[in-house]
Amino acid sequence: MSASDETHDPNRRDFLYIATGMAGVVGAASVAWPFIDQMRPDASTLALASVEVDVSSLTPGMSLTVKWRGKPVFIRNRTPEEVKAAQDVKLEDLKDPLARNANLGSDATAADIDRSAGKGKENWLVMIGVCTHLGCIPLGQQGEYGGWFCPCHGSVYDTAGRIRQGPAPENMAVPVFSFISDTKIRVG
């Protein structure tokens, strides 16, 4: 190769060089993708199940936990005192002012009514029982606010499952759910 080769018009070797390079890059990327893609949740995991729960036996002050998509869902029939305590909290005092309720718009505020099952069903609280910090399951009716306390890193939730203290950033999530009769809830 003489120095003057470099100033030549693109020749056959340049073309092969660029074409091979391009094929290599595209090839490497398309081979890499399935190796990453296989890591994602598979079809059986994604198959969206919904669960129906009979809540007729829950008197005020009782809760139950059901497993939905591998995660626990807390269903609690709150006592009037708990509802009152949650309603009395001012929005400004909340660390996370949003409802995080999948049944409402994403801008709904964390007022107690929008955390609960809604008008007439304010006593019902249905939420995914997973701490929004790093995923532990909080313990019920514990902590300073009589709501939930996460033993892992000390997040404290109130009786509406709203984060009040500790490292967790968000209120516990309310999943899609509905009352299919007065005593039956469908989650999902």
Task: Give catalytic residues, as residue numbers.
Answer: 153
Measured from the CB atom, the residue of 37 and 88 that comes closer to other proteins is: 37
Restricted to residues 124-143, the positions that interact with ligand FES (CB under 6 A) are 131, 133-136
CB of 98: closest distance to ligand FES in angstroms?
19
DSSP class of 47: S
Measured from the CB atom, the residue of 146 and 166 that comes closer to ligand FES is: 166
Number of residues that bind ligand FES (CB under 6 A): 13
User: Which tokens hold the place of 15?
Assistant: 């073309």
Non-local (6+) Cβ contacts of 60 within 8 A are 77, 78, 79, 80, 123
> By the 8 A CB rule, do 115 and 96 touch?
no
CA nearest 116: which of 147, 71, 155?
147
> By the 8 A CB rule, do 144 and 164 touch?
yes
Stretch that binds ligand FES, among 38-46, 61-69, 148-156, 172-180 (CB under 6 A): 148-156
Restricted to residues 159-188, the positions that interact with ligand FES (CB under 6 A) are 166-168
CB of 46: closest distance to other proteins in angstroms?
9
Q: Where does this chain bind other proteins (CB under 8 A)?
A: 36, 39-42, 45, 65, 67, 69-72, 132-139, 150-154, 166-169
DSSP class of 98: B
CB of 87: closest distance to ligand FES in angstroms?
25
- 71 contact, one of other proteins, ligand FES, none, CB 5-8 Å limit per kind: other proteins
> By the 8 A CB rule, do 67 and 129 touch?
no
User: Which tokens hold the place of 182?
Assistant: 């007065």
